[in-house]
Amino acid sequence: MARYDFDIGILGGGAAGLTVAAGAARAGAKTLLVEKEKKLGGDCLHYGCVPSKTLIRTAHIFHLMKNARQFGLPEISLPPVDYTQVKKRIQSVIDIIQKHDSAEQFCKLGAKVEFGQAAFTDEHAIELNGKRYSAKTWVISTGSSPAIPPIEGLDKTLYITNKEIYSLEQLPQSMIILGGGPIGIEFAQAFRRLGTKVSVVERLDRILINDDKDMTGQVLEILQSEGVEFYLGAAVVRVRDLGSEREVVFKMNGEEKSLRAKALLLATGRKANTSGLGLDQIGVRLDKRGLMLDQKLRTTQRHIYGAGDVTGTYQFTHAAGYEGGIVLSNAIFHFPRKVDYTHVPWVTYTDPELASIGMNEQTAKDAGIPCSVWTEQFRDNDRSIAEGEMTGKIKMILDAREKPIGIQILGPQAGDLLNEWVAVMNGGMKLSTLASAVHPYPTLGEINKRVAGRFLSTKLFSETVKRGLKFFFHFKGRACDEQED
Ligand SMILES: Cc1cc2nc3c(=O)[nH]c(=O)nc-3n(C[C@H](O)[C@H](O)[C@H](O)COP(=O)(O)OP(=O)(O)OC[C@H]3O[C@@H](n4cnc5c(N)ncnc54)[C@H](O)[C@@H]3O)c2cc1C
Protein backbone atom coordinates (compact mmCIF):
# COMPACT_ATOMS: atom_id res chain seq x y z
CA MET A 1 0.00 0.00 0.00
CA ALA A 2 1.47 3.34 -1.12
CA ARG A 3 2.10 5.99 1.51
CA TYR A 4 0.59 8.59 -0.78
CA ASP A 5 -2.84 8.96 -2.40
CA PHE A 6 -1.26 9.56 -5.82
CA ASP A 7 2.02 8.85 -7.61
CA ILE A 8 1.97 12.31 -9.12
CA GLY A 9 -0.04 15.46 -8.46
CA ILE A 10 -0.10 18.35 -10.92
CA LEU A 11 -1.15 21.89 -10.08
CA GLY A 12 -2.43 23.72 -13.15
CA GLY A 13 -4.27 22.34 -16.17
CA GLY A 14 -2.67 24.39 -18.96
CA ALA A 15 -0.23 23.33 -21.68
CA ALA A 16 2.45 22.14 -19.26
CA GLY A 17 0.17 20.44 -16.73
CA LEU A 18 -1.89 18.68 -19.39
CA THR A 19 1.25 17.31 -21.05
CA VAL A 20 2.44 15.82 -17.77
CA ALA A 21 -1.01 14.55 -16.77
CA ALA A 22 -1.66 12.83 -20.11
CA GLY A 23 1.77 11.18 -20.18
CA ALA A 24 1.74 10.10 -16.53
CA ALA A 25 -1.78 8.64 -16.69
CA ARG A 26 -1.00 6.80 -19.94
CA ALA A 27 2.12 5.36 -18.33
CA GLY A 28 -0.05 3.94 -15.55
CA ALA A 29 0.90 6.36 -12.76
CA LYS A 30 -1.93 7.26 -10.36
CA THR A 31 -2.37 10.87 -11.44
CA LEU A 32 -4.12 13.87 -9.89
CA LEU A 33 -4.63 17.04 -11.95
CA VAL A 34 -5.82 20.17 -10.12
CA GLU A 35 -7.09 23.24 -11.96
CA LYS A 36 -8.12 26.49 -10.29
CA GLU A 37 -10.59 27.57 -12.99
CA LYS A 38 -13.71 25.65 -13.96
CA LYS A 39 -12.21 24.43 -17.25
CA LEU A 40 -8.95 22.84 -18.36
CA GLY A 41 -6.82 24.41 -21.08
CA GLY A 42 -5.11 27.31 -19.31
CA ASP A 43 -4.19 30.70 -20.68
CA CYS A 44 -3.28 29.52 -24.16
CA LEU A 45 -6.73 28.14 -24.87
CA HIS A 46 -8.88 30.70 -23.06
CA TYR A 47 -6.99 34.01 -23.09
CA GLY A 48 -3.79 33.54 -25.10
CA CYS A 49 -2.73 31.80 -28.31
CA VAL A 50 -6.08 30.43 -29.46
CA PRO A 51 -8.30 33.51 -29.09
CA SER A 52 -5.54 35.89 -30.20
CA LYS A 53 -4.76 33.91 -33.34
CA THR A 54 -8.46 33.66 -34.13
CA LEU A 55 -8.80 37.43 -33.72
CA ILE A 56 -5.73 37.99 -35.89
CA ARG A 57 -7.22 35.81 -38.63
CA THR A 58 -10.48 37.77 -38.59
CA ALA A 59 -8.56 41.05 -38.72
CA HIS A 60 -6.47 39.73 -41.61
CA ILE A 61 -9.55 38.81 -43.65
CA PHE A 62 -11.04 42.26 -43.01
CA HIS A 63 -7.75 43.84 -44.08
CA LEU A 64 -7.77 41.83 -47.32
CA MET A 65 -11.39 42.84 -47.97
CA LYS A 66 -10.48 46.49 -47.54
CA ASN A 67 -7.59 46.02 -49.96
CA ALA A 68 -9.54 44.02 -52.54
CA ARG A 69 -8.40 46.30 -55.37
CA GLN A 70 -4.79 45.20 -54.91
CA PHE A 71 -5.93 41.75 -56.03
CA GLY A 72 -7.78 42.96 -59.11
CA LEU A 73 -11.15 42.83 -57.36
CA PRO A 74 -13.82 45.52 -57.17
CA GLU A 75 -13.44 47.96 -54.30
CA ILE A 76 -16.08 47.34 -51.65
CA SER A 77 -17.46 49.65 -49.04
CA LEU A 78 -17.61 47.82 -45.75
CA PRO A 79 -19.78 48.37 -42.69
CA PRO A 80 -17.97 48.65 -39.33
CA VAL A 81 -16.99 45.49 -37.50
CA ASP A 82 -19.54 44.01 -35.10
CA TYR A 83 -17.33 42.85 -32.24
CA THR A 84 -20.04 40.54 -30.86
CA GLN A 85 -19.72 38.46 -34.06
CA VAL A 86 -15.93 38.43 -33.77
CA LYS A 87 -16.23 37.25 -30.15
CA LYS A 88 -18.69 34.57 -31.20
CA ARG A 89 -16.21 33.14 -33.67
CA ILE A 90 -13.42 33.25 -31.07
CA GLN A 91 -15.60 31.37 -28.60
CA SER A 92 -16.57 28.76 -31.20
CA VAL A 93 -12.90 28.05 -31.91
CA ILE A 94 -12.16 27.75 -28.17
CA ASP A 95 -15.13 25.39 -27.79
CA ILE A 96 -13.84 23.03 -30.48
CA ILE A 97 -10.36 22.84 -28.97
CA GLN A 98 -11.76 22.63 -25.43
CA LYS A 99 -13.19 19.20 -26.28
CA HIS A 100 -9.64 17.81 -26.60
CA ASP A 101 -8.78 19.29 -23.23
CA SER A 102 -11.90 18.30 -21.30
CA ALA A 103 -11.89 16.71 -17.84
CA GLU A 104 -13.70 13.71 -19.41
CA GLN A 105 -10.85 13.14 -21.87
CA PHE A 106 -8.34 13.16 -19.03
CA CYS A 107 -10.51 10.86 -16.95
CA LYS A 108 -10.57 8.46 -19.92
CA LEU A 109 -6.79 8.49 -19.88
CA GLY A 110 -6.90 7.58 -16.19
CA ALA A 111 -6.19 10.93 -14.48
CA LYS A 112 -8.38 12.28 -11.68
CA VAL A 113 -9.26 15.91 -12.34
CA GLU A 114 -10.25 18.22 -9.48
CA PHE A 115 -11.19 21.89 -9.74
CA GLY A 116 -10.35 24.48 -7.09
CA GLN A 117 -7.58 26.57 -5.61
CA ALA A 118 -4.94 24.35 -4.03
CA ALA A 119 -2.18 25.15 -1.57
CA PHE A 120 0.57 22.95 -0.13
CA THR A 121 0.12 21.96 3.51
CA ASP A 122 3.38 20.03 3.62
CA GLU A 123 5.92 19.03 0.98
CA HIS A 124 3.86 16.02 -0.15
CA ALA A 125 0.29 17.22 0.35
CA ILE A 126 -2.13 19.94 -0.70
CA GLU A 127 -5.43 21.12 0.64
CA LEU A 128 -8.18 21.49 -1.89
CA ASN A 129 -11.82 22.29 -1.18
CA GLY A 130 -11.32 21.25 2.46
CA LYS A 131 -9.75 17.88 1.55
CA ARG A 132 -6.16 16.68 1.76
CA TYR A 133 -4.48 15.04 -1.24
CA SER A 134 -0.99 13.60 -1.04
CA ALA A 135 1.36 12.55 -3.83
CA LYS A 136 4.87 11.19 -4.05
CA THR A 137 5.81 13.68 -6.74
CA TRP A 138 4.34 17.09 -7.53
CA VAL A 139 4.47 19.35 -10.54
CA ILE A 140 3.82 23.07 -10.30
CA SER A 141 2.51 24.28 -13.66
CA THR A 142 0.35 27.19 -12.58
CA GLY A 143 1.27 29.46 -15.48
CA SER A 144 1.58 33.23 -15.46
CA SER A 145 -0.61 36.34 -15.31
CA PRO A 146 -0.32 39.82 -16.77
CA ALA A 147 2.27 41.81 -14.82
CA ILE A 148 0.68 45.05 -13.64
CA PRO A 149 3.28 47.83 -13.41
CA PRO A 150 3.24 50.25 -10.47
CA ILE A 151 1.87 53.29 -12.32
CA GLU A 152 0.39 56.24 -10.46
CA GLY A 153 -3.39 56.24 -10.81
CA LEU A 154 -3.67 52.74 -12.28
CA ASP A 155 -5.57 51.43 -9.26
CA LYS A 156 -8.32 53.99 -9.98
CA THR A 157 -8.35 53.52 -13.75
CA LEU A 158 -10.33 51.04 -15.78
CA TYR A 159 -7.89 48.95 -17.79
CA ILE A 160 -7.96 45.64 -19.61
CA THR A 161 -5.46 42.83 -20.15
CA ASN A 162 -5.47 39.82 -22.45
CA LYS A 163 -8.03 38.30 -20.05
CA GLU A 164 -10.75 40.90 -20.57
CA ILE A 165 -10.08 41.85 -24.18
CA TYR A 166 -12.24 39.08 -25.67
CA SER A 167 -15.24 40.00 -23.59
CA LEU A 168 -15.47 43.71 -24.46
CA GLU A 169 -19.06 44.69 -25.31
CA GLN A 170 -18.02 46.45 -28.52
CA LEU A 171 -14.98 47.26 -30.59
CA PRO A 172 -13.25 50.18 -28.83
CA GLN A 173 -13.06 53.33 -30.96
CA SER A 174 -9.58 53.96 -29.62
CA MET A 175 -7.05 52.02 -27.56
CA ILE A 176 -3.75 52.81 -25.87
CA ILE A 177 -1.54 49.76 -25.50
CA LEU A 178 1.20 49.87 -22.89
CA GLY A 179 3.97 47.54 -24.04
CA GLY A 180 5.62 46.84 -27.38
CA GLY A 181 6.29 43.14 -26.83
CA PRO A 182 4.69 40.34 -28.88
CA ILE A 183 1.33 40.52 -27.08
CA GLY A 184 1.01 44.30 -27.42
CA ILE A 185 2.15 44.31 -31.04
CA GLU A 186 -0.14 41.47 -32.15
CA PHE A 187 -3.16 43.19 -30.56
CA ALA A 188 -2.11 46.58 -31.98
CA GLN A 189 -2.22 45.36 -35.57
CA ALA A 190 -5.36 43.24 -35.13
CA PHE A 191 -7.41 46.03 -33.49
CA ARG A 192 -6.16 48.64 -35.94
CA ARG A 193 -7.23 46.45 -38.83
CA LEU A 194 -10.65 45.97 -37.26
CA GLY A 195 -11.07 49.74 -37.07
CA THR A 196 -9.76 50.86 -33.66
CA LYS A 197 -7.43 53.87 -33.46
CA VAL A 198 -4.39 52.33 -31.75
CA SER A 199 -1.44 53.94 -29.97
CA VAL A 200 1.42 51.90 -28.52
CA VAL A 201 3.45 53.35 -25.67
CA GLU A 202 6.76 51.52 -25.09
CA ARG A 203 9.44 52.28 -22.49
CA LEU A 204 12.32 51.11 -24.72
CA ASP A 205 13.33 52.84 -27.93
CA ARG A 206 12.24 49.84 -30.00
CA ILE A 207 9.66 47.05 -30.15
CA LEU A 208 10.01 43.24 -29.91
CA ILE A 209 13.28 43.41 -28.02
CA ASN A 210 14.13 39.71 -28.44
CA ASP A 211 14.45 39.92 -32.22
CA ASP A 212 16.97 41.67 -34.50
CA LYS A 213 16.35 45.37 -34.95
CA ASP A 214 16.39 45.31 -38.76
CA MET A 215 13.52 42.79 -38.66
CA THR A 216 11.50 44.49 -35.92
CA GLY A 217 12.09 47.87 -37.58
CA GLN A 218 10.26 46.54 -40.62
CA VAL A 219 7.39 45.31 -38.44
CA LEU A 220 7.21 48.79 -36.92
CA GLU A 221 7.06 50.40 -40.36
CA ILE A 222 4.33 48.05 -41.52
CA LEU A 223 2.18 48.77 -38.46
CA GLN A 224 2.81 52.49 -38.82
CA SER A 225 1.78 52.32 -42.47
CA GLU A 226 -1.48 50.71 -41.33
CA GLY A 227 -2.08 53.59 -38.94
CA VAL A 228 -0.77 52.37 -35.56
CA GLU A 229 0.90 55.23 -33.68
CA PHE A 230 4.05 54.47 -31.70
CA TYR A 231 5.52 56.35 -28.76
CA LEU A 232 8.92 54.74 -28.15
CA GLY A 233 11.32 55.57 -25.35
CA ALA A 234 8.27 56.73 -23.43
CA ALA A 235 8.19 56.41 -19.64
CA VAL A 236 4.64 56.40 -18.31
CA VAL A 237 4.26 58.96 -15.51
CA ARG A 238 0.61 58.45 -14.54
CA VAL A 239 -2.77 57.36 -15.82
CA ARG A 240 -6.19 58.80 -15.14
CA ASP A 241 -9.74 57.63 -15.61
CA LEU A 242 -11.83 60.37 -17.21
CA GLY A 243 -15.07 58.38 -17.21
CA SER A 244 -15.64 57.71 -20.90
CA GLU A 245 -11.89 57.77 -21.63
CA ARG A 246 -8.56 56.84 -20.10
CA GLU A 247 -5.59 59.22 -20.12
CA VAL A 248 -1.94 58.18 -20.19
CA VAL A 249 0.73 60.76 -19.37
CA PHE A 250 4.31 59.87 -20.33
CA LYS A 251 7.72 61.44 -20.69
CA MET A 252 9.40 61.19 -24.07
CA ASN A 253 12.55 63.04 -25.18
CA GLY A 254 12.38 65.03 -21.95
CA GLU A 255 8.88 66.29 -22.73
CA GLU A 256 5.63 65.34 -21.01
CA LYS A 257 2.93 64.18 -23.42
CA SER A 258 -0.52 62.72 -22.96
CA LEU A 259 -2.87 60.49 -24.89
CA ARG A 260 -6.53 59.67 -24.40
CA ALA A 261 -8.44 56.62 -25.56
CA LYS A 262 -11.58 54.63 -24.82
CA ALA A 263 -9.62 51.53 -23.81
CA LEU A 264 -6.33 51.05 -22.02
CA LEU A 265 -4.67 47.68 -22.61
CA LEU A 266 -1.79 46.55 -20.43
CA ALA A 267 0.70 44.30 -22.20
CA THR A 268 3.65 44.98 -19.95
CA GLY A 269 4.95 41.46 -19.39
CA ARG A 270 3.99 38.41 -17.38
CA LYS A 271 4.47 37.32 -13.80
CA ALA A 272 4.72 33.71 -12.61
CA ASN A 273 1.71 32.41 -10.66
CA THR A 274 3.37 31.36 -7.43
CA SER A 275 1.43 33.20 -4.75
CA GLY A 276 -1.07 31.40 -2.54
CA LEU A 277 0.55 28.00 -3.11
CA GLY A 278 2.28 27.94 0.28
CA LEU A 279 5.67 27.48 -1.40
CA ASP A 280 7.70 29.37 1.19
CA GLN A 281 6.43 27.05 3.94
CA ILE A 282 7.59 23.89 2.14
CA GLY A 283 11.03 25.11 1.08
CA VAL A 284 10.31 25.72 -2.62
CA ARG A 285 12.38 28.77 -3.46
CA LEU A 286 11.73 31.41 -6.08
CA ASP A 287 14.00 33.64 -8.10
CA LYS A 288 13.04 36.93 -9.73
CA ARG A 289 11.48 35.19 -12.74
CA GLY A 290 9.55 32.39 -11.07
CA LEU A 291 10.37 28.94 -9.65
CA MET A 292 14.04 28.30 -8.94
CA LEU A 293 14.83 25.12 -10.88
CA ASP A 294 17.76 22.89 -11.74
CA GLN A 295 18.35 21.57 -15.24
CA LYS A 296 16.10 18.59 -14.60
CA LEU A 297 13.34 21.08 -13.72
CA ARG A 298 13.38 20.12 -10.03
CA THR A 299 12.61 22.85 -7.53
CA THR A 300 14.56 23.22 -4.30
CA GLN A 301 12.40 20.28 -3.12
CA ARG A 302 13.69 17.56 -5.43
CA HIS A 303 10.37 15.69 -5.70
CA ILE A 304 8.54 18.90 -6.75
CA TYR A 305 9.03 19.88 -10.38
CA GLY A 306 8.15 23.02 -12.32
CA ALA A 307 7.08 23.43 -15.95
CA GLY A 308 5.58 26.10 -18.17
CA ASP A 309 5.25 29.85 -17.70
CA VAL A 310 5.67 29.54 -13.93
CA THR A 311 9.36 28.81 -14.55
CA GLY A 312 9.70 32.31 -16.03
CA THR A 313 11.94 31.13 -18.88
CA TYR A 314 10.46 30.82 -22.37
CA GLN A 315 6.79 31.69 -21.93
CA PHE A 316 5.33 29.86 -24.91
CA THR A 317 2.93 26.96 -25.20
CA HIS A 318 5.45 24.83 -27.07
CA ALA A 319 8.07 25.55 -24.38
CA ALA A 320 5.53 24.52 -21.72
CA GLY A 321 4.89 21.27 -23.62
CA TYR A 322 8.63 20.65 -23.97
CA GLU A 323 9.22 21.23 -20.26
CA GLY A 324 6.26 18.99 -19.45
CA GLY A 325 7.98 16.25 -21.47
CA ILE A 326 11.24 16.74 -19.55
CA VAL A 327 9.37 16.44 -16.24
CA LEU A 328 7.62 13.27 -17.42
CA SER A 329 10.92 11.76 -18.41
CA ASN A 330 12.55 12.56 -15.06
CA ALA A 331 9.65 12.03 -12.68
CA ILE A 332 7.71 9.15 -14.26
CA PHE A 333 10.02 7.26 -16.62
CA HIS A 334 13.13 7.86 -14.49
CA PHE A 335 15.04 8.51 -17.67
CA PRO A 336 17.13 11.55 -16.66
CA ARG A 337 16.85 14.49 -19.04
CA LYS A 338 18.05 18.08 -18.77
CA VAL A 339 16.42 21.08 -20.41
CA ASP A 340 18.16 22.60 -23.39
CA TYR A 341 16.62 25.77 -24.78
CA THR A 342 19.07 26.16 -27.68
CA HIS A 343 16.46 25.37 -30.29
CA VAL A 344 13.29 26.82 -28.80
CA PRO A 345 11.62 28.74 -31.63
CA TRP A 346 9.19 31.64 -31.30
CA VAL A 347 6.85 33.51 -33.56
CA THR A 348 5.17 36.90 -33.33
CA TYR A 349 1.95 36.57 -35.29
CA THR A 350 1.89 39.96 -36.95
CA ASP A 351 1.22 40.12 -40.67
CA PRO A 352 3.82 39.37 -41.93
CA GLU A 353 4.90 37.00 -39.15
CA LEU A 354 8.27 37.23 -37.44
CA ALA A 355 9.74 33.83 -36.58
CA SER A 356 13.01 32.92 -34.95
CA ILE A 357 15.05 29.92 -33.85
CA GLY A 358 18.46 29.82 -32.22
CA MET A 359 20.66 32.88 -32.22
CA ASN A 360 19.98 36.04 -34.13
CA GLU A 361 22.63 38.45 -35.39
CA GLN A 362 22.46 40.52 -32.20
CA THR A 363 22.61 37.66 -29.68
CA ALA A 364 25.48 36.05 -31.60
CA LYS A 365 27.34 39.37 -31.55
CA ASP A 366 26.60 39.87 -27.83
CA ALA A 367 27.93 36.37 -27.12
CA GLY A 368 31.10 37.12 -29.10
CA ILE A 369 30.41 34.34 -31.61
CA PRO A 370 31.98 35.04 -35.00
CA CYS A 371 29.25 34.54 -37.58
CA SER A 372 28.18 35.33 -41.10
CA VAL A 373 24.69 36.42 -42.13
CA TRP A 374 22.96 35.27 -45.31
CA THR A 375 19.68 36.72 -46.52
CA GLU A 376 17.05 36.14 -49.14
CA GLN A 377 14.15 38.48 -49.84
CA PHE A 378 10.50 37.47 -50.19
CA ARG A 379 10.18 39.85 -53.15
CA ASP A 380 12.39 37.39 -55.07
CA ASN A 381 10.14 34.41 -54.28
CA ASP A 382 7.67 33.69 -57.09
CA ARG A 383 4.90 32.53 -54.76
CA SER A 384 5.22 35.66 -52.62
CA ILE A 385 4.82 37.78 -55.72
CA ALA A 386 1.71 35.85 -56.76
CA GLU A 387 0.27 36.17 -53.26
CA GLY A 388 0.96 39.90 -53.11
CA GLU A 389 3.06 39.30 -49.98
CA MET A 390 6.44 40.68 -50.85
CA THR A 391 7.60 42.20 -47.57
CA GLY A 392 10.30 40.60 -45.51
CA LYS A 393 13.32 38.36 -45.69
CA ILE A 394 15.00 35.34 -44.19
CA LYS A 395 18.26 35.70 -42.28
CA MET A 396 20.49 32.67 -41.81
CA ILE A 397 23.25 32.98 -39.22
CA LEU A 398 26.23 30.65 -39.70
CA ASP A 399 29.04 30.16 -37.19
CA ALA A 400 32.73 30.04 -38.07
CA ARG A 401 32.36 26.34 -38.99
CA GLU A 402 29.57 27.34 -41.39
CA LYS A 403 26.90 25.60 -39.34
CA PRO A 404 23.50 27.34 -38.93
CA ILE A 405 23.16 28.69 -35.40
CA GLY A 406 20.03 30.71 -35.99
CA ILE A 407 17.32 31.69 -38.43
CA GLN A 408 14.99 34.67 -38.45
CA ILE A 409 12.16 34.98 -40.93
CA LEU A 410 9.97 38.01 -41.45
CA GLY A 411 7.40 37.14 -44.05
CA PRO A 412 4.14 35.45 -44.95
CA GLN A 413 3.63 32.20 -42.99
CA ALA A 414 7.04 32.69 -41.36
CA GLY A 415 6.06 30.47 -38.42
CA ASP A 416 5.31 27.56 -40.71
CA LEU A 417 8.38 28.21 -42.85
CA LEU A 418 10.50 28.04 -39.72
CA ASN A 419 9.48 24.42 -39.13
CA GLU A 420 11.87 23.20 -41.82
CA TRP A 421 14.68 24.88 -39.88
CA VAL A 422 13.44 23.31 -36.65
CA ALA A 423 14.13 19.95 -38.31
CA VAL A 424 17.43 21.09 -39.86
CA MET A 425 18.80 22.45 -36.60
CA ASN A 426 17.55 19.71 -34.29
CA GLY A 427 18.65 17.01 -36.72
CA GLY A 428 22.04 18.60 -37.38
CA MET A 429 21.22 18.41 -41.10
CA LYS A 430 23.79 19.71 -43.58
CA LEU A 431 22.92 22.84 -45.55
CA SER A 432 23.79 20.95 -48.73
CA THR A 433 21.01 18.43 -47.95
CA LEU A 434 18.50 21.25 -47.61
CA ALA A 435 19.74 23.06 -50.70
CA SER A 436 19.74 19.94 -52.88
CA ALA A 437 16.32 18.68 -51.71
CA VAL A 438 13.64 19.26 -54.34
CA HIS A 439 11.08 21.73 -53.00
CA PRO A 440 7.71 22.11 -54.72
CA TYR A 441 7.31 25.17 -56.98
CA PRO A 442 5.92 27.74 -56.40
CA THR A 443 6.00 27.70 -52.61
CA LEU A 444 7.08 30.19 -49.99
CA GLY A 445 9.26 27.42 -48.55
CA GLU A 446 11.61 27.70 -51.50
CA ILE A 447 13.10 30.66 -49.65
CA ASN A 448 14.65 28.19 -47.19
CA LYS A 449 16.33 26.27 -49.99
CA ARG A 450 17.39 29.52 -51.69
CA VAL A 451 19.14 31.00 -48.65
CA ALA A 452 21.06 27.75 -48.08
CA GLY A 453 21.85 27.67 -51.80
CA ARG A 454 23.03 31.28 -51.75
CA PHE A 455 25.68 30.37 -49.20
CA LEU A 456 26.68 27.14 -50.96
CA SER A 457 26.95 28.83 -54.33
CA THR A 458 29.76 31.03 -52.98
CA LYS A 459 31.68 27.78 -52.49
CA LEU A 460 30.60 26.26 -55.78
CA PHE A 461 31.58 29.37 -57.72
CA SER A 462 34.76 30.10 -55.79
CA GLU A 463 37.70 31.41 -57.80
CA THR A 464 39.51 28.02 -57.54
CA VAL A 465 36.49 26.09 -58.87
CA LYS A 466 35.96 28.68 -61.62
CA ARG A 467 39.61 28.43 -62.65
CA GLY A 468 39.33 24.62 -62.79
CA LEU A 469 36.21 24.78 -64.93
CA LYS A 470 37.75 27.30 -67.31
CA PHE A 471 40.57 24.84 -67.84
CA PHE A 472 38.08 21.99 -68.35
CA PHE A 473 36.07 23.91 -70.95
CA HIS A 474 39.24 25.28 -72.66
CA PHE A 475 37.85 28.69 -71.84
CA LYS A 476 36.97 30.57 -75.00
CA GLY A 477 35.28 33.59 -73.40
CA ARG A 478 31.68 34.46 -72.60
CA ALA A 479 29.01 33.59 -75.18
CA CYS A 480 27.25 36.88 -74.56
CA ASP A 481 28.60 40.23 -73.53
CA GLU A 482 26.32 42.75 -71.84
CA GLN A 483 27.63 45.50 -74.15
CA GLU A 484 26.61 43.53 -77.27
CA ASP A 485 23.09 44.97 -77.55
C1 LIG B 1 -2.32 37.13 -25.48
C2 LIG B 1 -1.38 35.95 -25.45
C3 LIG B 1 -1.07 35.31 -26.63
C4 LIG B 1 -0.22 34.23 -26.63
N5 LIG B 1 0.08 33.63 -27.81
C6 LIG B 1 0.93 32.59 -27.84
C7 LIG B 1 1.24 31.95 -29.05
O8 LIG B 1 0.75 32.32 -30.12
N9 LIG B 1 2.09 30.90 -29.03
C10 LIG B 1 2.64 30.45 -27.87
O11 LIG B 1 3.41 29.50 -27.90
N12 LIG B 1 2.35 31.03 -26.69
C13 LIG B 1 1.52 32.09 -26.65
N14 LIG B 1 1.20 32.67 -25.45
C15 LIG B 1 1.81 32.13 -24.22
C16 LIG B 1 1.05 30.89 -23.75
O17 LIG B 1 -0.30 31.21 -23.54
C18 LIG B 1 1.68 30.37 -22.47
O19 LIG B 1 3.06 30.23 -22.66
C20 LIG B 1 1.11 29.02 -22.08
O21 LIG B 1 -0.26 29.13 -21.81
C22 LIG B 1 1.83 28.49 -20.83
O23 LIG B 1 1.28 27.29 -20.42
P24 LIG B 1 1.29 26.91 -18.87
O25 LIG B 1 0.78 25.51 -18.79
O26 LIG B 1 2.59 27.21 -18.28
O27 LIG B 1 0.28 27.94 -18.22
P28 LIG B 1 -1.27 28.10 -18.44
O29 LIG B 1 -1.68 27.64 -19.78
O30 LIG B 1 -1.63 29.47 -18.06
O31 LIG B 1 -1.89 27.10 -17.38
C32 LIG B 1 -1.75 27.30 -16.01
C33 LIG B 1 -3.01 26.84 -15.34
O34 LIG B 1 -2.80 26.79 -13.93
C35 LIG B 1 -3.97 27.20 -13.28
N36 LIG B 1 -3.65 27.59 -11.91
C37 LIG B 1 -3.08 28.75 -11.48
N38 LIG B 1 -2.92 28.72 -10.14
C39 LIG B 1 -3.41 27.53 -9.72
C40 LIG B 1 -3.54 26.90 -8.45
N41 LIG B 1 -3.16 27.50 -7.33
N42 LIG B 1 -4.08 25.66 -8.39
C43 LIG B 1 -4.49 25.06 -9.52
N44 LIG B 1 -4.40 25.60 -10.74
C45 LIG B 1 -3.85 26.80 -10.84
C46 LIG B 1 -4.47 28.33 -14.17
O47 LIG B 1 -5.84 28.58 -13.97
C48 LIG B 1 -4.17 27.79 -15.57
O49 LIG B 1 -5.25 27.07 -16.10
C50 LIG B 1 0.33 33.75 -25.41
C51 LIG B 1 0.00 34.38 -24.21
C52 LIG B 1 -0.84 35.46 -24.23
C53 LIG B 1 -1.19 36.12 -22.93
User: Could you give the CA distance from residue 364 to residue 481 in angstroms, rounded to a whole number?
Assistant: 42
User: Could you give the CA distance from residue 12 to residue 363 in angstroms, rounded to a whole number?
Assistant: 33
Cβ contacts of residue 181 below 8 Å, gap of 6+?
207, 208, 209, 267, 269
Cβ contacts of residue 216 below 8 Å, gap of 6+?
206, 207, 208, 354
How far is ligand 1, taken at its centre, from the CA of residue 294, in Å?
21
Q: What is the pLDDT of residues 276-299, one digit of tens each?
A: 999 999 999 999 999 999 999 999
Q: 263-266 and 371-377: which strand pairing? A: unpaired
**Low-confidence residues of the chain: pLDDT under 70:** 1-2, 482-485
Query: What pLDDT does 1 receive?
Result: 43
User: Could you give the CA distance from residue 370 to residue 365 in angstroms, rounded to a whole number?
Assistant: 7
How far is ligand 1, taken at its centre, from the CA of residue 394, in Å?
30
Q: What is the pLDDT of residues 167-214, one digit of tens each?
A: 999 999 999 999 999 999 999 999 999 999 999 999 999 999 999 999
CB 233 within 8 A of CB 253: yes
Atom of ligand 1 nearest to the CA of 324: 25
Query: What pLDDT does 461 receive?
Result: 75
User: Could you give the CA distance from residue 271 to residue 291 in angstroms, rounded to a whole number?
Assistant: 11
Residue nearest to ligand 1 atom 1, measured at CA: 48
Query: What pLDDT does 477 receive?
Result: 75
Query: What pLDDT does 462 receive?
Result: 74
How far is ligand 1, taken at its centre, from the CA of residue 116, in Å?
17
Pocket of ligand 1 (CB under 6 A): 11-17, 34-37, 42-44, 47-49, 52-53, 117-118, 141-143, 162, 183, 273, 276-277, 308-310, 315-318, 320, 349
Query: What pLDDT does 360 receive?
Result: 97
Which neighbouring-strand residues pair with 8? 31, 137
How far is ligand 1, taken at its centre, from the CA of residue 310, in Å?
9
CA distances in angstroms from 468 to 173, 296, 423, listed in the order given: 68, 54, 35
